[in-house]
A and B are shown apart, each in its own frame.
Chain A
């Protein structure tokens, strides 16, 4: 009985304490929030002759990828803190939930950090921006001299301009690429090509021949498999047919495509190009050349398994992943190689790439900071100055690399790591991380990879416009965006169902095509196209 009584009292006191401490933590919260904001102007005002200031304190959301877990003690981060006299409170948030967390922070305005990394102004962010939840950073372009200089250096004025919303303002500091990377594409078993004395495929017809031969020699295999799902195949191969539709379509409309010659949108999902595309891949499917499991998501493990065990010989995937598969394969002479984009009816093109990527946004609240100017200037310097960009890309000189003339020499432990230079730099030094690295110079990046990769990239760069630019995003205001979204969803749903039917042969491209086109027209694909074309600039 007494024991129980004690337990009861303990529980009761825990409860009452909890209420009390909840209250007290309120007070603490209030206490810290207001004084800091009211105190800083005085410190800002008094120490205006810059330098020798207190470290600039700010908080920052960071998208944490489990393959390279965030470490506060990465040398790069330590160096940034020291070099730029900043005290950054990083909030690493799991990448799968990053958007939810950012959306909450921006929508409620409560507890928003000062800076958010890895954001694009699209979809919800665009409407949040138009409604004033995000600082229009283009208004403060005087404070971002380094960013402006990089944009000029890379010749990206137009691309950066195209990020502006309907109100003519740009809301983020995007990451900048001097040249697009060819980081993934057709991956094939080079050793088998040689064994069967086949030339490297240059066109989709060549690919068909190669796959056919593979199938002949290994009847129970499915020569071509896809990493992650059809969307990867679509986004990497459709441009050669002159379209880009589906979940990862270049323009985000999912059913429309951009006509590069006439600079307009057209309904790609019901175009003849799409019909031709589907005809090709349904042929592969019908003849057992395309992995039937690709409709389910094939995750990285299963995908590696298929290639390593010889159940498949070709794939559309990323170069980074070759190493892991090759290491696990048991077959003698196993060699995977990545090939330049294949030529289709519309030429040889790879997935369109933007020269700008996810970048930095400032929540509205941040603009109220009395030291906002200093914050923006510092962020600009940290991420976009030549020094800062180099630091995020290569790490600290003398630690992770040394300069030999103008050649970069990486430290021995990095070069000899089984992870490869690129991965080891990320894991151990925090360098080359696409959340924090916002300036990408192709030539500099290539030093992190083997020669082979550099060569493929050089080949692709020499091709005629192999990687096209992302089509311009129409400037919707809130109302039109809403209308477009309500048209887009049913169109995309219908598209998915039919695409699946066409590729697997459940629907016939000859007999059912007209029915499909009719359904898409009933769902107002033409009006959807019109909306896009009417709102271009």
Chain B
């Protein structure tokens, strides 16, 4: 009886919805396919506009060339390190902070909250921030990438509200069973918060993966993330064009640009489906009776 409805014939609305979803998927997918095709095509075919969704004149020259760029792999490794390390630190700090802030009986939590919100709207600006990081002696160390971004106000607010939504009764039960607050955070709250943690973890990971600016201003050349490399190749020659000369002269083959885009964005895209399984909310439903 329950399985019967699945066999019903497709209504017009179903077709429409499916067609629409297919269209949306296509919109997201085609640019990547196009990039991939470009990166594998011969420059001649690209200039003559022959490439659409499949490579023309299949070759791997572009990939060979970017892999021989000095520092490409080094930069790649740096980015993986910043992303992994930065996300771990950020999740750890945010969870600790947010748990404390989620307790309304904590004295002064409103003041702290105001400070957090204030810093969302007003920041010191580039040079004061740079001076701060510099006088903390973080410049030219990897910590300049990892520490300043450990707490993001927006993520913090998401997490605080998520923690607050967890029924207090669960915690009371845990206290009665003899758990300390750290124990509760670790054994009760965090396991129940995987959707929120996965969400902000993803935000943070994407932030660290994409960040080139902080790397550029705070770090040494050999600590640069791969995004700076990508930016230089894709944008470098276009951006500097104002200089009225030299850079307008130089062009980089489209196949190389595409290959760099593919290699430097693929890993973070792959992360999405892998985190999918954490996005299951509602674990606490039914945990408290009456």
A contacts, CB < 8 Å to B: 1, 4-5, 8, 11-12, 14-15, 18, 21-22, 25-26, 29-30, 64-72, 90-98, 100-101, 104, 107-108, 110-111, 183-184, 227-229, 231-232, 235, 247-248, 297, 299-301, 304-305, 308-309, 317-318, 320-321, 324-325, 327-328, 330, 351, 434
Contact = CB atoms under 8 A, between A and B. Distances in A.
Contacts of B141: 22, 25
B236 to A, nearest CB: 4
B186 interface: yes
Contacts of B70: 69-72
B269 interface: no
A427 B214 CA distance: 29
B70 to A, nearest CB: 5
| 9 nearest A-B residue pairs (beta carbon) | A300-B251, A94-B232, A26-B137, A328-B47, A96-B239, A67-B250, A248-B244, A318-B249, A110-B134
A300 B237 contact: yes
Interface string B230-243: 01110111111110
B17 to A, nearest CB: 36
24 contacts: A4-B186, A14-B88, A15-B92, A18-B147, A26-B136, A29-B140, A65-B236, A65-B246, A68-B250, A91-B221, A94-B216, A96-B232, A96-B235, A97-B231, A101-B216, A110-B135, A111-B134, A297-B238, A299-B251, A300-B237, A305-B49, A320-B249, A327-B44, A351-B244
Nearest to A181: B245
A94 B231 contact: yes
B127 A107 contact: yes
Given A247-B242, A248-B244, A301 B139 contact: no
Contacts, number: 160
Contacts of B246: 65, 434
A194 to B, nearest CB: 23
A300 B127 CA distance: 35
B216 A18 contact: no
Given A11-B92, A110-B131, A248-B244, A66 B46 contact: no
Contact of B127 (A93, A104, A309): A104
A309 B49 contact: yes
Contact of A67 (B43, B221, B252): B252
A86 B136 CA distance: 31
Given A18-B143, A108-B127, A64 B186 contact: no
Given A304-B251, A328-B48, A69 B69 contact: yes
Given A29-B140, A301-B251, A327-B44, A104 B240 contact: no
Given A67-B250, A232-B248, 9 more contacts: A5-B186, A11-B92, A66-B232, A66-B236, A71-B70, A97-B216, A300-B252, A301-B47, A328-B47
A328 B89 CA distance: 50
B126 interface: yes
Nearest to A5: B186
A65 B127 contact: no
B265 interface: no
Contacts of B140: 29, 111
Interface string B30-52: 00000000000001101111000
Contacts of B252: 66-67, 300
B54 interface: no
A104 B126 contact: yes
Nearest to A325: B47
B238 A18 contact: no
Nearest to B146: A18
Q: Which of B47, B187, B250 has the most CB of A within 10 A?
A: B47
Given A15-B92, A94-B228, A66 B237 contact: yes
Q: Which of A91, A95, A183, A235 has the most CB of B within 10 A?
A: A95
Given A29-B140, A95-B232, A305-B48, A183 B249 contact: yes
Interface string B136-158: 11111101001100000000000
The majority secondary structure among interface residues of chain B is: helix
Contact of A108 (B131, B213, B231): B131
B217 interface: yes
B269 to A, nearest CB: 23
B26 interface: no
B130 interface: yes
Contacts of A18: 89, 143, 146-147
A417 to B, nearest CB: 15
A165 B269 CA distance: 51
B276 interface: no
Contacts of A325: 47
Q: Which of A71, A97, A247, A320 has the most CB of B within 10 A?
A: A97
B185 to A, nearest CB: 10
A20 to B, nearest CB: 11
Q: Which of A21, A96, A111 has the most CB of B within 10 A?
A: A96
B234 to A, nearest CB: 9
Contact of B89 (A15, A67, A228, A434): A15
A308 to B, nearest CB: 5
Given A18-B143, A69-B70, A328 B44 contact: yes
B159 interface: no
A308 B130 contact: no
B220 interface: yes
B236 A96 contact: yes
Given A91-B221, A100-B217, A300-B237, A14 B242 contact: no
Given A100-B217, A108-B127, A248-B242, A22 B147 contact: yes
Interface in B235-279: 235-242, 244, 246-254
B31 to A, nearest CB: 16
Contacts of B46: 301, 305
A317 B249 CA distance: 8
B143 A67 contact: no
A332 B143 CA distance: 59
Contacts of A66: 232-233, 236-237, 252
Given A8-B186, A110-B131, A67 B251 contact: yes
A318 B248 contact: yes
A58 to B, nearest CB: 15
Contacts of B138: 22
A351 B245 CA distance: 10
B39 to A, nearest CB: 13
B249 A184 contact: yes
B89 A104 contact: no
Nearest to A11: B92
A91 B220 contact: yes
Nearest to B141: A25
Nearest to B216: A97
A91 B93 CA distance: 33
B260 to A, nearest CB: 9
Contact of B250 (A12, A21, A25, A65): A65
